[in-house]
Amino acid sequence: MMARQVIAALTIILLGVAAGLAAALVLPKTYGASAEILYPISQDPQNDPLKQDRELSTQLVYLTSRAVLGPVAKKQGRQFDDLAKDVSAQVLNNSEVIEVDAYGSTKLVALQTLQAVVNEYLTLSSQPTGTSHNLDIQLADAHTNTTRLQTQVQQLTTAVLGGTATQATLDDARAQLTASLAMEKAIQARIDQLDLTGQQGTNAQILTPPYSLPDTVFPQPLIAAGTGGLVGVIVAGVLLGLDTRRQALGSRRSPGPDVSDWAP
């Protein structure tokens, strides 16, 4: 009896494994692609770890936001919500590295989607802020003015030596040149400060270029087989328990020996 139960249990488990493998072969396959982006955290004078965590968390949200995925979805002729389901991002443990994954019906589709998302993110994140853009314009104007004044000072110096210009005019031009150089230096210092605090645009860069994952993301044959086998074990255990209980109840209901047979 015990051997029959063991054989029946093994049969149920093997059927579960076979069903899991069959499901893995029949279900639509999903492939994946992965990439790693290095996002250097801006230096914080107070060395606040929470601020650093917030910066990385903000980038995760940004990577999967409409600002990044919207243009990609439009190019692919998809809805934003549909694309958002196929893209995920996470920070690797104790690092400044963001892992980005994309999924698709084929390896090529997943890889192309990931490449488009990464390119869009890097393009947008490298753009300067409005403040830094205005400072760049001011710096260019100040540099142009400095160059003009330097030329004017040289010309006036020659003119003073030739007696065609006064020393006062030259001194005034030199004073203007000094002020312009100071202005240029101050604007550059402000730009450097924005760079230091990460407001000039991020220095995010590709650490590991997008690549296709070797195996399917879903379904995975081994996991499917294991799940089927686990279901088989549960079913076999339930059936074995019911069979054991049925046998126990049957043995209790079996009639004992007739005492009249022992009468003299």
pLDDT tens track for 129-184: 556 657 777 888 889 999 999 999 999 999 988 888 898 998 999 999 999 999 88
d(CA 210, CA 216): 16
List residues bridging with 208 in a β-sheet: 36
Stronger pLDDT, 188 or 17, i.e. the higher one: 188
CA distances from 228 to 15, 25, 184, 224 (A): 8, 13, 71, 6
pLDDT tens track for 49-85: 676 778 888 889 889 999 899 999 999 999 999 999 9
Q: What Rg do the C-alpha atoms of the chain give, in angstroms?
A: 38
**What percent of the chain has pLDDT above 70?**
65
- Report the residue count for the chain: 264
**Mean pLDDT value across residues 230-234:** 70
Average model confidence (pLDDT) across the chain? 78
Q: What angle do CA 102, 107, 111 make, to 5 degrees?
A: 45
- Exposure on the CB side of residue 35, measured as CA atoms within 13 A: 27
Q: Largest Cα–Cα distance in the chain?
A: 161
User: Does position 26 have pLDDT exceeding 60, yes or no?
Assistant: no
